[in-house]
Structure 1
Amino acid sequence: MDIIPVTRDEIDHFGHPHPLSIVYLQQPNQKDENSEDEDEDKEKDEDDFVEEDHHGGQCNLCEERIWSFHLCYYQCKSCDYSLHKFCAELPETLVNHPSHPNHNLFLGRFYTRRVNCHVCNTELKGNRFYYCSVCFICMDITCATMSKQKINHPSHPHLLERMPGSIVSSCSACGNKHEGVFFLCTTCPGFRINQDCALLPAKLLIQNHTDGTFTHSHPLTLAYSFSSFDQRSAFYPICRACSQHFKYHLWAYKCDKCRYYVHVDCATSKKEPFMSIFQHESLGETSKNFKDDEHPNLLHCPFNDEGDNLLKRHMSNQKELIDKKNDGDTLNHFSHQHPLILFDKQTPVGITLHDPMKRVRLLCDGCVKPIITVPFYMCSEYVDGKCCFVLHEWCAKLPSEVQDYVGHPEHTLFLLPKISDRFFGVFKCTVCRLRSNGFAYGCTMCDFYVDINCAFIPEEITHEAHPDHLLLRVKTSPSNEMRLSCKACDDHSSPRWGFQCPSCNFYIHVECALLLPKVIKHKCDKHPLSLRYHPAENHISDYFCEICEYALNPWIWFYHCTTCAQSMHVGCVPYILQCEQGKYPLRRDVNRFLNIKFGGMLEIKGHSHRLAFAQGFNSDGKCVKCHQELEYYMIFKCLECEFAFHYGCASSFLS
């Protein structure tokens, strides 16, 4: 608690003809029975606060500022004249001063002569000083009052004394080295804070100190240690200006309503955090570093919703290819044994488009993405329930080969509806590293395969999480994997394809950039969820996933409904898309089955029923072969009895 000194309300000072009145820069905290109500009202009104003017002008005696930590000062009501309290209490004669105890020191003044202070060896400021008539030495007012310049700062339980002169030292508040005035705790000698940090306001609006480069709707409160942060035991927050972590013993500004945390230097522009765009990813406003007319087909991520994707965007720019292959309403596609019928105006009778709200699933057999709108192709036998084969129009018109592919430039990649030597057509994409049983582009000679979305990854994109800067396609290596940690999932496994901003070190995996839509729907919330890159504003409760019910780290991308204050892991939401109920606790990557279309039947010897290709749940029990849990894996299970085994154990039943 601040200590307001007991002092006289008015004094007469020998250096000024008018009486001086006391002015308090800080008022004592007075608690009563209504204090709790007052605190609640203060919390409600804190958004309307005005940053205080935390100084009382300049002292006319020592010519230094009168700061808020001085608690009070004397001022003349008739003219512009102010004095520190300790300066106002100085006598005209100092007896036994610790810096010169042998002789008395007298208050005097110079008008033209330049003299250095005997204590700090710097030129005297102003024209008032103390001098010894015997030794002919001088002492400035600041050094003369040093023993009385003690402050009571809320960051520390003990009084802090001003250190003589200007020094270079590390500051216990911000952790940086400063040159200037420091205050030291004599009880805790390691604690010293620079005057600039001692003057930091208790509350501030960050936009007022960073020229609007960083903005937040609520005032930030000064916290004197990391222990002041909530959620510290579960997740370690990052600075919203420079994106670096905090040290537990240093000060920071915070908004607990929104989990908005900023280093003190970043919040006050003492180290110009907006310049961090040249060193780390910037979380505030950035200057656009490209011209739109020079990038006419630039891909802007994230995609709008689950019905939008890279392949759709790419093929929309290939109208000539689609028109050339337009065979009317019927198409004989090499990937399927039956003719395909085009539905471009309305959905066929008895067929429902993909709708996660109604738990209806309709996935394209090519890209394994939802079919939400027309046009699309459907097998002519589908209506009778004999063959559930469907394709987006653009997936039906894909080019037969891709040349000079960035990940495999030595050979041409050919379009393959199924990879013949992969059981049930399931392969692992070399680029996004997800399993898929859709179409692929591959080189059978080198056993190199990519899913059809990853076959058309552009060289550069932009992303809403890092606006106005181009993100370039890169592949991580062991030499830079620790430096290139994905901002979406916090994973840095290598080697990995991704997109990086060279100037800001902002990096996201290919799958995180391209497979996470901006808005997504699901059964657990009647409102669409939006992809969030940081904690939501005014979300004061703990974060947990509505699907898996595990804790959620708000510093890693997640989906959120502001209306219902509900959140979900990005790795859990796709299960709702595919009408599944699996739970992946604390998974950090995109859903492993996002590119798998479950369905299809398998017949094996020794079992009388057909087996369905499905996603394993807890209710499926254990594998009849390896006796391990089936949950979280691709499995084959009998729909009529409790017989099931892992996809990886299928070879035992097929030999």
Structure 2
Amino acid sequence: MNRIKLPTHKHPLYPTPWVRSCSGCYRENDCTKDGYRCYECKIFFHKECAESSLEINHPSHPEHPLHLSIPEKFYESKNCKLCGKTLVNMFYHCPLCKFVVDTVCIKNPPPDVIEHPKAHKHSLVHLINYYHGTCDFCEEKFCDRYLYKCSQCQLKFHFECSNLPLEITHPFHRKHPLKFLTREEHYFLDGKCRICGDELGRRFYNCSICKFSVDVACVKNPPPLTILFAKAHDHQISLIPRIISFNCDACGLAGDRSPYSCQQCDFMIHQSCIDLPEIINVNRHEHRLSRRLQLSPGSWICGICHKKVDWSCGAYSCSICPDYAIHSRCALRDDVWDKLELKGIPEEPQEIKPYTVVNGNLIRHFSHEEHYLQLNEENIICGGSIRCEACVLPIYSQAFYSCVQCDFILHKTCANLPRKKRHMYHAKPLTLVVGDMTYFDCSACSNPSSGFRYSITNFNIDVKCSALSESIFHESHGCTLYYIYGNGKHCIACGNWSYSTFNCDDCKFVLDLKCVVLPKTTRHWYDEHILSLCYENPTKGEHWCDICEETFHTKCVLGDFSLLMPGHVITYYGKTRFEVIQTHPGFLPRCYICPSRRAVPFVSKTELREQRINIDAVTWVTATGAFVYNKLYVDR
């Protein structure tokens, strides 16, 4: 099976060997061997649901054909005309008559009465428009399409549960019958289902002789006993429904129950690893990665978690970079993989360059197409008086491009920023957005900026954060620091708690992104010398700061507007407009919020209550921490 694009689902769907719960119909009467899954939404579809006809004729509405649709495209009627179920997935509707019917009811309309249910001694009546409470058989919430009630006992049942007997012979345990029990009625081995490993609910099936327990879901939808699926293994694999310790040959991690196995090859695999994607992109590497059943013998380190990779187990590796490999589970993390299987999809065309060379040192950059930019890289002594439009940082002695007709300036490195890139901060590719002078908060370091940004829906990172790689060397520490997401820690410099940090696990050294991207040198009008970033907390009085009567804290030197272009009018979230103004000894406006006169390098000027006032956007609180700025004396 090839991947398909379902008209009523926005993401590609990929083949999977079985489906336990279909998001197209929520039918749970049996486990279907062939189906599709969406990696992005983490949902599954029966093959017949994924490939449903877009238009049908049905006896429930003979007047007009019915069209396949989803709730987002149809709001006026939300309940199936046959079963009364709220429509949350695919359904058929008549656009002329506002008639809607569930896909399940199209194929198997519900009986009005179940005369002889296996789970109860009385007949059960179909309930319409009833969605609350729990099933009195399995004690799970009502989630099935069809719900039934005993009018004598007032007990309610899922349709699937109504046909489950109190004693069954299960295909995974044929030696003895399984009895329907509650947790209070019997002692069980480990409190987990023998098949799927989930915690057992209050009611389940059990063999007291073998201490074999299985939850109701695995009774209603058992996984197939055998699977022939080329993505998993060359041969047919069989389920071993028992507690058994094993190492999964697909991901290398340990398992404790019910793997699929090929005895011919001594191969075992987790149920969840059977349909791993074969070719993927991750945000930590520039090339595509392919799934390998095993790596070549040797010492391998995962490119994401930096722990050892067992070469004899499955992993993802790069065919271009022979030393790069990552664990299967690391590769498929939500913050790493973009949820696209790339097998059969050609490589993306070569990236468009950000500029074209006119001649010599003259270029036309896509961010400033109206004029040419000229390269300046010799005898540069700017002293920080001009700023780059992309990163909004001062230019001191770095090479830069300047417009031949206006004051537009780019660092040479910023002029070479790719127009699209993958980055560790987001699983999807990011696009470079330029030239709109819009205020945004960097999603990585939280600093406000008005420069260029890499963006995707509701996510923006500034240029300086986009320049960071997954591993860095920082002057404050002698070891390589690795980017870690998800394990919140305190930064040793500022003391703040962050989930995105650069770590040295051996030394327990942690820096958050705000401290990592602090400029190594900067200026403040208060002092004529360049200030350099220090990494130790100096003794009070040794490096005195007349700005805050403390040492040169980074907050005092940089302020809150250091990445907003001075002299420009900035749009704040599409509404408020304000001008960033550089201060000097003769211009220290009183902050509207504090109110105080601080020697901060920049303030914003905006209109509030029909008066023009100076606003320092944040109440100035002196920061504490290990990083400070100190004078850097340069021979002149």
Q: TM-score range by the shorter chain?
A: 0.3 to 0.5
Q: Which has the higher helix share?
A: 1
TM-score, length basis structure 1 = 0.34
* Greater relative contact order (CA < 8 Å, ≥ 6 in sequence): 1
Flag the structure with higher strand content: 2
TM-score between the two structures when normalised by the length of structure 2 = 0.35
For the pair shown, which has the larger CA radius of gyration, 1 or 2?
Answer: 1
